[in-house]
Chains A and B, each alone.
Chain A
Amino acid sequence: MDAALTELELDALRELMNTGVGKSARSLSELLGRPVVLSVPFVGALDGPGAGEFFSREFKREASYASAAQDFSGPLAGRGLFVLSNDECSSIASLIGLAPEMTEGVVVDLVEELCNLVLVSCVGFIAGALGGKAQFSSPNFTGRWEAGDFDCASFTTVGSEDAPRLGLRTSFRFKDSEADGHLLLAISGRSGSWLRAGLASYIEGLLCSTT
């Protein structure tokens, strides 16, 4: 799918991700009362072995993470993974008034809730900007893991006959914290033609805007 997207279309998709994540960051910041610092998004082809490298490039060595996955469907279909540094979980939990003792149940609830907040806001914006509407599954906690053990294959398995073809990733951190977070999106191959048409129309709309 990526091969069929022009540089301009990839640029537009990156810009949409940037805007979508900006909206997510605002929601996150308002929920937690902490400023969120965003990184520049990246868009890339998912070509088998390279997918793991693409998605994990910004993970810190030696760091451990907790994550939740959420599927989205409709014309823009795929899977998102919200990844949060383990170090950040307890401080966030206390910020939003969750139990001071970090039981596994609290971590699961927290990461799933943040995944839902960030992913729905970001993917919903991208789908909407391209003239579609995304539906979302419930977020599912996918465990705690070390940076070197990132299981890209299980994340990107959207369906055995529907391998993802395009990946988007962006990173964020909370101000005054070294801990990091990441939003990874694997876009399904079957969204390719819709995505191309939507991006072409989006770009045309930008360039022909008269209002």
Chain B
Amino acid sequence: MAHDVLIVDDSMVARMAIKNFLSTTGASISEAPSGEAALDLLAKGLRPAIVYLDLTMPGIGGAETLKRIRAVSPALPVVVITADVQAQTLEELGALGVSGVIRKPADKVSVLAWYGRATAG
């Protein structure tokens, strides 16, 4: 069964890399270049099995995007991909209900592991 996946990153290269990592899964990939665009896709009915979310983006940014996703979808797996691995950043993401954090540059094993976990049940 093909699952929907949402990749949110202002970098086209970063989105392409995640998309490439997931190419063997058969997942249906949606991309958003900003938090606002991601929220718009979700508001229009996209129901992804997992969201890969960049943290440092123009506009509302990843943390605010996560907060708004959590307000409407408390159980949706959201994995933040970021180079910002300061302890307090991770604590704040935890408080916002992040499902997991992958350090940039993202690696295929971690991306696929989170996909497998999100789609296993």
Contact = CB atoms under 8 A, between A and B. Distances in A.
Interface string A177-211: 00000000000000000000000000100111111
A117 to B, nearest CB: 14
Contact of B20 (A11, A20, A35, A207): A207
Contact of A19 (B12, B58, B86, B104): B104
Given A11-B11, A14-B11, A209 B83 contact: no
A211 B105 CA distance: 14
Contacts of A19: 83, 104-105
Band of interface residues on A:
20 to 34
B56 to A, nearest CB: 5
Contacts of A15: 11, 13-14
Which of B13, B82, B105 has the most CB atoms of chain A within a 10 A radius of its CB? Answer: B13
A40 B89 contact: no
A22 B13 contact: no
Contacts of A21: 83
B86 A29 contact: yes
A11 B13 contact: yes
Given A18-B11, A38-B56, A203-B13, A211 B108 contact: yes
Interface in A30-46: 30, 35-36, 38-40
The 4 A-B residue pairs with the shortest CB-CB distance in the complex, in nearest-first order: A22-B83, A35-B88, A206-B17, A19-B83
